[in-house]
Amino acid sequence: MKINFACGRRVLDGWFNIDAVRSPRAPRDPELLHAVTFHADGSVASPVPLPDGCADELMAMHIVEHVYAWEAPALVGEWRRLLKPGGLLVVECPDI
């Protein structure tokens, strides 16, 4: 499985697309509407409802800059949880 995390309007064929909201500019809805939320200590309160190690690749474009600095390590940890050992994580951070 390839996960497109926080896909926005880039809902891609051949990927499992996840976003918190539907984008009116997307060609279709993502496979999963889910918002990762955090506890006050920065830990993940609402993990992605997918099993550990389910993804060969996870792409996260333009999302890290939307979480607080103390939440970012837990978000990356959630991506690691979803990736298989040796899986590929692709992150783009334009405003970091």
Confidence of residue 8 (pLDDT cuts 50, 70, 90): very high
Distance between CA atoms of 36 and 21, rounded to whole angstroms? 12
Q: Is the pLDDT of residue 96 over 70?
A: no
Taking phi over 0 as left and psi of -120 to 50 as alpha, with beta for the rest, 7 belongs to alpha
Half-sphere CA count of 52, side-chain side, radius 13 A = 3
Q: What is the pLDDT of residue 95?
A: 64
Its pTM stands at 0.93
Q: What is the pLDDT of residue 94?
A: 82
pLDDT digits over 22-63, tens only? Answer: 999 999 999 999 999 999 999 999 999 999 999 999 999 999
